[in-house]
Amino acid sequence: MREKRQKQMPLSPTFRQDFDQARELKAISRILDQHPAIYELVYQDLCPYGPDVNDTGAEGMSAEQVVRAAIVKALFGYSYRQLAFHIVDSDCLRSFCLIGFGKGFKKSALQKNIKSLSGETWEQINRVVIGHAKEEKVEKGREVRIDCTVVESNIHHPMDSTLLWDVVRVMTRLLIAARELGVIGLGFQDHSRRAKRRMLGIHNAKREQARKKLYADLLKVTEKVVGYDEQALSFIDSYAPPSLEEMIEQARVFDEIQHYLPLARQVISQSERRVLHGENVPVSEKLVSLFETHTDIIIKDRRDTYFGHKICLTGGRSNLILDCVVLKGNPADSELTQTMLTRQKDIWGRPPLKAALDGGFASKNNVKLAKGDGVKDICFAKRRGIKVTDMCRSPYVYKRLRNFRAGIESGISWLKRCFGLGRCNWQGWRSFKSYVWASVVSANLLTLARAGIVK
């Protein structure tokens, strides 16, 4: 049965004290040990149906080991293969992850367990970490700074030609898998080479007329392949596999074709509308990836376009990230002001006294709402027609808060450079939120560890 904590770790390696990273890991370990509620939260995700559902076989990773391995992965930017190696190879990481001199864990076990943790669980862990910062008087939550940034999805730059090529290669691959199963009645032709040539020709075309001609042929090929898959569904469904393994493969191929067919139709539709008919397709009707369908199109300041999700971060004077919201769509910053301040009230039990925000959050209504909730001074980096005296008690306070707000920019830069927050390489919307929150929690633990070491 899976355990929440390691009861005994014989012949455990110890932390080396002659390296800064070892001292930081030891400090993080002490913080985690002081809050066993963290392991309770993780355990609920690892055993959603109760501890006694699977009470046979190996125990697997404990909840304590899973959260520690996830923190190591975020701190050092390891892949799962690298994580599996370094946990076994390093005495410090062995000690931190509580595996003693025993056998380590395979990369597949690490991935399965770490990916089991939801974004909501990481958010609750962050609340525990912030509570620890409050107890240690590292952070009081009286002054906050709020800003938004974009975390990109792990996709190639979306173009109609590459999306059509993705449709052809994926749908053809599934047809070939069905044929290898021995499904009777399948009739299709592999157009992958032709589709790839048209896609490359579109990229290299110098004239719009030649590009349109190539697009028309690529669309024709894509329609054919999608038609093959639609016809194949009935043949795959009626096929009777001779073995259990082939039955599982049949179900997988059938489900994947059903999953990709509507997406393929959407790609064909938006390509025809934009390329052949010259129509401006609304952002809400665009699909930018077959694989990361949750991806939003984020246009920032009318100059840069990102493909991922907008996140809103709240930082404190201690450089801790007090709160984070992963957003769907691209809401205006001004719509988020009240939400972020209310969440601070939920975290601390009281509103912050002072709040500093970017200029995009500014509006007279937001000033009024914030003041009504108990915020004494609120500063927007750009006033946008709002008087300084309406926001703050004096120009001096406004200038001080405006300078304070700039610190969140360095915090965001640190998260992106050192914790991989610039681009999420986990697949799916649920995993996207988990990835963001795991980076935030790891950064907060490192900040607290360094604060404790300095003390």
Range of weakest confidence among 7-11, 28-32, 201-205: 7-11
Give the integer Cα–Cα distance in Å for 356 and 361.
10
pLDDT(20) > 60: yes
CATH number of 139-155+295-429: 3.30.420
The three-class DSSP label of residue 379 is strand
DSSP E strand boundaries for 210-320: 296-300, 304-316
pLDDT at position 56 is: 41
In the block, tokens 């939260």 appear at 41
Average pLDDT over residues 129-157: 94
Residue spans of the domains in the chain: they are 20-117, 139-155+295-429, 160-285
pLDDT at position 420 is: 94
- Which pLDDT tens digit goes with each residue over 317-342? 999 999 999 999 999 999 999 999 99
Q: Tokens in use for 130?
A: 């912030």
Considering only CA atoms, which of 24, 75, 68 is closest in space to residue 419? Answer: 75
- When pLDDT is cut at 50, 70 and 90, the band that residue 53 belongs to is low
144 forms beta bridges with: 316, 355
Contact between 116 and 46 under an 8 Å Cβ cutoff? The reply is: yes
- Which pLDDT tens digit goes with each residue over 248-257? 999 999 999 9
Q: What are phi and psi of 88, to 5 degrees?
A: -80, -35
pLDDT at position 16 is: 62
pLDDT(28) > 90: yes
- Going by their DSSP bridges, the two strands 296-300 and 304-316 should be labelled as antiparallel
- When pLDDT is cut at 50, 70 and 90, the band that residue 14 belongs to is low
Q: Tokens in use for 366?
A: 């937001």
Share of residues in the chain with pLDDT > 90 (%): 76
